Structure 1
Amino acid sequence: MLNFNKDRFVRIQSGGVSIAGEAQLLMRKLLAEGIERLYFMGTGGVQLLTLPAIELAQRRSTFPVSAQYPAQVVLDPPAGLDGNAVVVIPSLSGTTKESVELMAFLKKRGVRTLSLTGHSDTPIAREADHNFTNFAEDDTSSESFYLQTLLIVLALLAERREYDGFDATVAELQLLPGLLADAKASFEDKAAELAAIIKDDAYHIFTGAGSVWPEANYYGMCILEEMQWIRTRPVHAADFFHGTLELVEPGVSVFVLKGEDATRPLADRVETFARRYTDRVRTLDAASVELPGISAEVRSLISPVLLATLLERLSAHLEVLRNHPLTTRRYYKRVEY
């Protein structure tokens, strides 16, 4: 497999799953202390990786769980950002400028914080009231953050008796790192083929619904746009027929991401339409990934994890074929954050 270290990958994703027990104890403690609200505040793409967990909470609980932009919060904070709130701050580097500023802002307001970082000796890890550090790098961070935020929300729901079978779910998730590595291996040839087909494309429409919409948005914006300088149009499948459909014509590339939750029919509808008008429809389906030992219930929770792990293989081949390393940026080091 191109530029892939299986042992490293499995170790990192196992680390993501390993926070389950501590997350449950922490949620139990915070609820006993009377917390009333939970926010996720990440900067840039990492915030998108928290959205499936947030949506899960909003579907299954009346406990307020929402997302906010750190750079906006310090200028115009939402109501309820006080001592009865907990803010989860994910940051792979642990040094993201907007998130460091957010941490200082929250401490002044007495808001409790939980950071998720890839490095422990960093400002965001050190300054948080609680921290989970799981070393990761760009090519492994998506799955890690998806899993950690999922477990935090499941722990919250379990402690509120809104989710049965937390321990059984965790037991299944412990199988996942190795299965994800197998999924990458199975997808390798398809990823290489697809990369060769699209390497010269200048524009793609990305769509999905439910838990996989954030991955469609993330891959378009944070991988193809930021890391490959390829223009994309991420659009939620529920909005596709309210504007974006008019852009579909022969030769237009449409990526349809399909999950295994209740919103799948929205993606099916887009796929059916797009195939009538362009021969460049690419469907990535979480249901195509073989996961022995993983129940249908747990599969419905991890669709974005599965698609992220497949798309990483596409990225690995694209950067080589386009002679454009994923680390190459025009402006990143020059922008005043």
Structure 2
Amino acid sequence: MNIREIVGKIRSSKEDGIKEVFLVACGGSLVDMYASQYFLQSEARELRALSYTSNEFVHAIPKSLGKSSVVIVCSHGGNTPETVEAAKVASEKGAATITLTHNKDADLIKYADYNILYEWGNDTSVEDNPMAIILNIAVEILNQTEVYEGYNKFMEGLKIVNDVVKRGQGLVAERAKKYAEKYKDEPITYVLGSGASYGHAYGFSICSLMEMQWMNASAVHSGEYFHGPFEVTDKETLYLLLMNEGRTRELDERALKFLNKYGAKVEVVDCKELGISVIDSSVVEFFNPIVFYSILCVYRGELAKLRNHDLDTRRYMGKVEY
């Protein structure tokens, strides 16, 4: 059953229609949902979109959760206790649950009305990875409930975004090596982004740098940079700026102008430079984070090599009680 059919069945089963979409996960899986949250909050007129980390969803259950809700729950391994419990809570409250996992034997699937078993690995196309799949679900829900004018343009973009990624990975290969050589021992990295990509600025900070490399990092929204964070800008502090293509690019450009004047350690990853503009301008902003994820995987891979710190090395995760 494809995404259009899944959404159609859910919609036809709801007497009062679909009124809200909850996006629930932890860590990297929650990061994969941010683009969908941004999309729905930007494009929906009446449909509500709410994002929760799994354990908060379990302990502070939204009162609006119920039969008019669709809850999208994602866990790569499918057995994250908090996320499995979140899916159970959603199911018990009468919401329609769509789960995503890479594990066909996942506990998460027990609480799914519909499960999507996604592909993973270097040889997969990005449209088959969770970030793009969840965004596709969000677009489909909006189109079937309110009609989304950019639907066809979005679907066209989904078909070509993997080509943008592959080209972009080649373009940044040498830059990523130089970045790692220069900044592998930095005490902290501030990652800036805006729009749909702010979620990946956060994700690269907490997952790629803090979790996978044990490097201190923090995400800063480009629009919020001038409302406090810019006070720590100096010539010694490292900034990694994710430059979007789309409506919020102006926020990133403003931050870059300031960083070029008062900073010195500034790495810019620009989706426009990487060729994302082949996607229609009316929907391109929603594809930025899909491209950024794969491009920044090149950066973290080079860091892992030079730091001699494998991306799968953990100190606490899965090793101690927590």
Distance 2:57 2:276 in 1: 40
Question: Secondary structure of 1:255's match?
Answer: strand
In structure 2, the CA distance between the partners of 1:70 and 1:139, relative to structure 1 (3 Å rule), is farther
Shift of 1:156: 1.4
* 1:165 CA drift (Å): 5.0
After superposition, the C-alpha distances for 1:67-124 in whole angstroms (9 at most, x for unaligned) are: 1122012212011111221110011111111111222222322222100111222111
Q: Distance in 2 between matches of 1:267 and 1:291?
A: 16
Does residue 82 of the first structure (1) align with residue 62 of the second (2)?
Answer: no
Deviation at 1:229, TM superposition (A): 0.8
Cα RMSD of the aligned pairs, angstroms, is: 2.2
Residue 303 of structure 1 and its aligned partner are, at CA, apart by: 0.7
1:133 aligns with 2:113: no
- Paired residues in the alignment total 317
- Corresponding residue to 1:97 among 68, 72, 81: 81
- Secondary structure of 1:215's counterpart equals helix
Residue type matched to 1:249 in 2? D
Which one of the candidate residues 182, 192, 195 is aligned to 2:167?
182
Cross-structure match for 2:106:
122
Distance in 1, matches of 2:154 and 2:42, equals 18
Residue identity opposite 1:52 in structure 2: A
Q: Residue 188 of structure 2 contacts residue 238 of structure 2 at CA under 8 Å; is this kept in 1?
A: yes
Q: Does structure 1 residue 47 correspond to structure 2 residue 42? A: no
What does 1:101-112 align with in structure 2 at a 5 Å threshold? 101-112=85-96
Query: What letter is aligned with 1:302?
Result: F
Equivalent residue number for residue 148 of structure 1: 133
Is there any run of 5+ residues in structure 2 with no aligned partner, and where?
none
Letter in 1 for 2:290: V
Matched letter for residue 173 of structure 1? L
Superposed CA offset, 1:284-307 (max 9, x none): 111111258533334222011111
Deviates more, 1:157-166 or 1:51-60: 157-166
Moved more, 203-212 or 102-111: 102-111
Q: Which runs of 4+ in 1 moved over 6 A?
A: 138-143
C-alpha contact (below 8 Å) 2:26/2:75 kept by paired residues: yes
Contact kept in structure 2, 1:203 and 1:231, CA below 8 Å: yes
CA distance in 1, matches of 2:124, 2:62: 32
How far did 1:335 drift?
A: 4.2
Return the alpha-carbon distance in structure 1 between the equivalents of residues 80 and 286 of structure 2: 28
Q: 1:219 to 1:139 in 2, by over 3 A?
A: farther
Of 285, 294, 300, the residue aligned with 1:309 is: 294
TM-score, normalising length from structure 1? 0.88
Aligned match of 1:296: 281
Q: CA deviation at 1:212?
A: 1.1
Task: Determine what percentage of the aligned residue pairs are the same residue.
Answer: 26
CA deviation map 1:204-241 (0-9, x unaligned): 11111111111111101111011101111211112111
SS of the residue 1:132 aligns to: strand
Q: TM-score scaled to structure 2, two decimals?
A: 0.91
Secondary structure of 1:82's counterpart equals: coil
Please identify, of 273-282 and 320-329, the stretch whose mean Cα deviation from structure 2 is larger: 273-282
**Whole-angstrom distance in 2 between the partners of 1:318 and 1:257:** 18
Matched residue type, 2:232: L
